[in-house]
A and B are shown apart, each in its own frame.
Chain A
Amino acid sequence: MITAVRSHVTSLHVFCAVLIAAIVARPVIVDALSAPVLRTAATVFVAVCVQALPFLVLGVVLSGVIAAFLSPAALRRVLPARPAAAVPVAGAAGLVLPGCECASVPVARRLIGQGVPDAAALTFLLAAPAVNPVVLVATAVAFPGEPGMVGARFLGSLATACVMGWLWQRAGRAEWIGDRVRLRAPTPTGAGRWAVLAETARHDLVSAGGFLVLGALAAAALSVLVPAAWLDALGAQLVLAVLVMALLAVVLALCSEADAFVAASLSTLPLLPRLVFLVVGPAVDVKLIALQAGTFGRAFALRFAPATFVVAMLCAVGAGLLVFGGVR
C-alpha cells in the first residue's frame, strides 16, 4: 500500500489466482495426496495447525489487551526494577497463562514492546507453556506411578526459563531482537483502546500465523521421516537416549499439554531421557523456532534456540538427578 509505484498486479489478484488455480487443480492435488505417507503427513499438518491456531489467537488477543490497557508505567510498577530480580517474577507469572507455547510468543513480544526488560519477557516466554497448571496436571495424569515426574518437570522448566533470562541479561544484545518488536504505538485512551486491541491482535495474528504454519509443515514432514526404530535399543545407552529424546522433542513439536502422554508411552526408556523430552519440548521445537524467527527476527532465533536447547537439556538432567536421586 505504501509503495510509491502501484503495480497492476496486487496481492489480491495473486490471492484470487491461487484460489482459482487450486479449485481447478483439485483432482490433481487430491490424487497427489493419496499416497499413504503424504496422507499421514497431511493429517498431522492439519492437526498441528488446528490444535495450535486457537492458542495463537488467545495469545494475540492477550497481546492486544497488553498493548491497549497495560501502559509501560503500570508494568514497571508490577515488576522489580532490577532485571535480575524481574526474571524469577516473570518465571512465576508463567504459572497463570494456561496455554500452549504458541500463545506465549505474541505475549512476550508485546511485553518487550511495552518496555519490560528483554530478559524478563524471554523468561516468561519459556516458562508460560511449561509450568502452567494444565501442563502439570496432564503430566501427573500421564505418569500415575511416578509422582516425582511433575516436580522434576516443574523444576527443570522453571530453571531453564530463569537461566535463559539471566544468560540473556549478561550476554544478550538488544540489537539481536528486531527493531519492529520495540515499536510502540502511543498509549491510547477511551474508545481508541479497543481499536488498538483489534489492530494489534490482527497484525500479530497475520504475521505470526504464517510462521506457525511453517512450523506445522516441518513437524508433519519430520513425523513421517524420523524412523520410529530410533527409539528401540536406546534404553541401555543413557547419554545417547538423552540426546535423541532432546532432538525428538525439537522435531516432533508436540503441544506441551500432550507431550507427557507421548513420553509416558515410551516406557522402554529410563525416566531421565523422558524428562529431558518434557523440558526441552515446550522451550524449543521447530514450530517455536519458526514463530520466534518471525516474531523477533532471524538473528534472535539463530542464537536463542540453540542456547535454549543446551540449557534446557542441562537443567532437565540436573532436575532429574535431584528429584529421582540418580538415573532411573
Chain B
Amino acid sequence: MRRDTQHMLLVLLGGALIRIAADDTYLRYVRPSHRWWLLAAGAVMVLLAAVALARDLRGRTGPVDHDHDHGRTRSPWLLMLPVLVIALVAPPALGADAVARSGGGGAVVRNTDLYPPLPPGPLELGVGEVVNRAAWDESGSLDGREVTVTGFVVRRGAATVLARMTIACCAADARPYTIRLVGDVGDLEPDTWLRVRGTVQPGSATQANRFTPSLAVLDVQVVAEPTDPYEY
C-alpha cells in the first residue's frame, strides 16, 4: 500500500474515533470514561499522518524510513472496515438479541455484602441494583418499596422482561440484568425502552430463574432510548 493511502486511512480512522467521541455515539460501545482515550487516540492518529505527509511532501523520508515489506502486506486495508462500519451503519447498542444470546439469564454477580439503606420516598434505581438487592440483600431493603426502573423489552415466551446491559469495559463484556414484568403491560415490541414503576415481589429472584426478580407493575411509560444505554 502506498504511503499516501496509509496517511488517508489514518486520518479517516482517527476522524472516525473523534467523531463518535464528539457526540454520544461512543456510549453504545464503551463506558463514558473512555471518551478521552478516544479523543487522544484519534488526535494522535491524525497528527502522525499529518507529520508523515508533510515530511513526504518535502522529500525528507529517506529509504531508512520506508517500509521494507512493501507490497507484501495487505493488512492495512482492514483498517477501512471499522471506518466504514462506523460511518455507514453505526451499529446500535446491544439489545434484546444479545440478552437472548447470553442464555437469557440475569448476571449473578454478588456485588457486595452490605447494601446501604435506601432513602425514603419514591425510588429511581438501576436494573442491576434492583436485581442485586432482590437477590442478595438479606435485610430486604426493597420489600414493599415502590421503584422506578428504565430498560428495554425482551420477550421470553409469554412473559415480558425488562432488561439492561451492564458493561465493565466495552460491549464485548456486557452482562444482562433482567426483571420480569407482572401485570398488564400490553403487547410491546422487543427493544422498546420503558420506564416502569412497580413493587418487587420479595423472594422472586432465585438461582432457578437466573436471578430475574418479578416486578408488580403499577405504571408503564414508553420512553426514548437513553443517551447512555448501559449501566456500570
> Which residues of A are interface residues toward B (Cβ below 8 A)?
1-3, 10-12, 14-15, 18, 22-23, 26, 29-30, 33, 36-37, 39-40, 42-51, 53-55, 57-58, 61, 138, 142, 144-145, 180, 183, 185-186, 195, 198-199, 201-203, 205-207, 209-211, 213-214, 216-217, 219-220, 223-224, 228-229, 231-232, 252-255, 257-262, 264-265, 267-268, 294
CB pairs A–B below 8 angstroms (20 shown)? A26-B88, A30-B89, A43-B29, A44-B94, A50-B20, A50-B26, A50-B29, A142-B168, A185-B65, A202-B52, A206-B10, A207-B76, A209-B13, A213-B78, A213-B79, A213-B82, A229-B103, A254-B169, A261-B168, A267-B110
CB distance from B146 to the nearest CB of A (A): 28
CB distance from B22 to the nearest CB of A (A): 13
The distance in angstroms between the C-alpha atoms of A13 and B55, with both chains bound, is 22
- Segment at the A interface, from B67-75, B193-201, B219-227: B67-75
The distance in angstroms between the C-alpha atoms of A75 and B51, with both chains bound, is 28
Count residues on chain B whose CB falls below 8 Å from chain A CBs: 80
Chain B hits for A229, CB < 8 A: 103
Chain B hits for A264, CB < 8 A: 109
Q: Does A198 lie within 8 Å of B48, measured CB to CB?
A: yes
Chain B hits for A220, CB < 8 A: 172
Chain A hits for B51, CB < 8 A: 198, 202
Chain A hits for B6, CB < 8 A: 202, 206
Q: Does A261 lie within 8 Å of B89, measured CB to CB?
A: no
Q: Does A180 lie within 8 Å of B13, measured CB to CB?
A: no
Q: Interface readout for B22-42 with A: 1 if CB under 8 Å, 0 if not?
A: 000010111000100110110
Chain A hits for B149, CB < 8 A: none
CB distance from A215 to the nearest CB of B (A): 10
Q: Does A180 lie within 8 Å of B55, measured CB to CB?
A: no
Residue of B nearest to A293 (CB): B75
Q: Does B30 lie within 8 Å of A50, measured CB to CB?
A: yes
> Which residues of B are interface residues toward A (Cβ below 8 A)?
1-6, 8-10, 13, 17, 20, 26, 28-30, 34, 37-38, 40-41, 44-45, 48-49, 51-52, 55, 60-61, 64-71, 73-82, 84-86, 88-98, 101-103, 107-113, 167-173, 175
CB-contact partner of A22 in B55, B84, B91, under 8 A: B84
Q: Does A46 lie within 8 Å of B173, measured CB to CB?
A: no
Q: Does B2 lie within 8 Å of A254, measured CB to CB?
A: no
User: Which of B1, B44, B170 has the most chain A CB atoms closer than 10 A to its own CB?
Assistant: B170
Residue of B nearest to A26 (CB): B88
Q: Does B110 lie within 8 Å of A46, measured CB to CB?
A: no
Residue of A nearest to B73 (CB): A207
Chain A hits for B10, CB < 8 A: 202, 205-206
CB-contact partner of A214 in B78, B89, B103, B168, under 8 A: B78
Q: Does A50 lie within 8 Å of B38, measured CB to CB?
A: yes
CB distance from B10 to the nearest CB of A (A): 7
Q: Does B2 lie within 8 Å of A1, measured CB to CB?
A: yes
The distance in angstroms between the C-alpha atoms of A144 and B65, with both chains bound, is 50
Chain A hits for B45, CB < 8 A: 57, 205
Q: Does A46 lie within 8 Å of B29, measured CB to CB?
A: yes
Chain B hits for A268, CB < 8 A: 108
Contact A22/B81 with A44-B172, A54-B34 known, Cβ cut-off 8 Å: no
Q: Does B75 lie within 8 Å of A254, measured CB to CB?
A: no
CB distance from A124 to the nearest CB of B (A): 22
- By Cβ-Cβ distance, the 4 closest A-B pairs, closest first, are A210-B75, A258-B169, A228-B103, A47-B171
